Amino acid sequence: MDLTQIFNTTNPVIGVVHLLPLPTSPRWGGSLNAVIERAEQEATALAAGGVDGIIVENFLMPPLLKKRSIQW
């Protein structure tokens, strides 16, 4: 199935909701409600703007790396 079939248009516009940093992130703000509210605001604005679809990503959260020792 291609995008034309999924969205019923030949040129779909896909909006992106960027989540605020999530728990375990060094930039975590401490409020999951704030994350949800912001995501809802962005999704609502995108829908009102006429996008055909929305994806959600946590782009603002850096990768979490486990520190480890290397023995020589």
pLDDT digits over 7-22, tens only? 999 999 999 999 999 8
Q: For residue 26, how far is the Cα from the chain centroid?
A: 17
Residues of the chain with pLDDT below 70 are: 60-70, 72
pLDDT at 4: 87
pLDDT at 35: 95
Q: Write the CB contacts of 51 (distance below 8 Å, at least 6 apart in sequence).
A: 13, 14, 15
pLDDT at 49: 98
Q: Are 45 and 38 in contact (CB under 8 A)?
A: no
In 3D space, the residue among 48, 58, 60, 61 whose CA is nearest the CA of residue 13 turns out to be 48
Percentage of the chain with pLDDT > 70? 83
User: What three-state secondary structure class fits 42?
Assistant: helix
pLDDT at 66: 64
**Residues in the chain, overall count:** 72
